[in-house]
Amino acid sequence: MNVTAMKERSREALDRQASDYDLAPWSAHARSLHPSVLAAVDGHRFGRILDVGCGTGALLGRLLDLRPGFEAHGLDISPAMAEQSRRRLGERARIVVGDAELLPYDDDWFDLLLCVDSFHHYPRPTAVFAEMERVLRPGGRLVLADFRLWGPTRHLFNGLLHVLPYGDVHVYSPCELAVMAVEAGFGDLRWVKAGRRGQLLQAVAERDSDW
Ligand SMILES: C[S@@+](CC[C@H](N)C(=O)[O-])C[C@H]1O[C@@H](n2cnc3c(N)ncnc32)[C@H](O)[C@@H]1O
């Protein structure tokens, strides 16, 4: 399956799930990661945030409730998910339909990027890391949370993903994520477990770190 077809499968799957995503069992894993993401950004200052693969906007909503006053942006490849975000957040956030590989923002624009349970949908992960590094200001921070699966389970799972119709592409090990992040220009990497089956990577766009 080529890259375009993989993205189309994600878009179609999430368009189908959007209307009841927040209450459905298949959003439980993403929701289980949100507390770790909120803890990771606690105590840090940020003026402009982008949630890449924002889904229904639940995480941005929680962050806006807890820490109002920042400029919130969300991007999602699924028009139906983006619409759910707009309904939830209204004028509190700017939500666009788009691809994580081609972020429609200027260089050095964000203080913080979130990416939760979305990275395993991306067929060209290194292109996404490069885009994330481009739109983050020097010293800006990426908080990426996704599945954490033990080696043999991960290999089995990754084999299955390609035959399932949900648009999932690949779950990465912490080491694989770290290598991609460093190659894209991130540094000061920190990795923690998140929820029961999650991992959370924090990384700084290293041009002039002042986080
Ligand atoms: C499992 S959902 C997680 C949603 C949300 N981050 C959360 O925490 O609930 C994955 C999201 O990533 C989006 N997505 C998948 N591929 C994408 C891409 N290439 N660019 C942007 N968003 C993408 C999907 O449409 C979906 O909304």
Ligand 1 centroid – CA 140 distance (Å): 22
Ligand 1 centroid – CA 182 distance (Å): 23
Looking at the CA of residue 100, tell me the nearest atom of ligand 1: 20
Residues 199-209: what's their mean pLDDT?
A: 85
In this predicted structure, the answer to whether residue 210 has a pLDDT above a threshold of 70 is: no
54: Cβ below 6 Å to ligand 1?
A: yes
* DSSP per-residue string spanning 105-174: S-TT-EEEEEEES-GGG-S-HHHHHHHHHHHEEEEEEEEEEEE---HHHHHHHHHHHTTSTT----PPPH
What's the pLDDT at 42?
92
pLDDT tens-digit map of 108-164: 999 999 999 999 999 999 999 999 999 999 999 999 999 998 889 999 989 888 888
Q: For residues 38 and 88, what is the distance between their CA atoms, to the nearest angstrom?
A: 19
Ligand 1 centroid – CA 201 distance (Å): 17
Q: Best substitution site from 3, 11, 14 to test ligand 1's pocket, by max atoms within 8 Å of Cβ?
A: 14
Closest-CA residue to 115 (of 25, 12, 184): 184
Nearest CA to ligand 1 atom 13: 53
Looking at the CA of residue 58, tell me the nearest atom of ligand 1: 9
Ligand 1 centroid – CA 86 distance (Å): 15
Ligand 1 centroid – CA 108 distance (Å): 22
Residues 186-211: what's their mean pLDDT?
A: 85
pLDDT tens-digit map of 3-55: 998 898 889 988 999 999 999 988 899 999 999 999 999 988 899 999 999 99
17: Cβ below 6 Å to ligand 1?
A: no
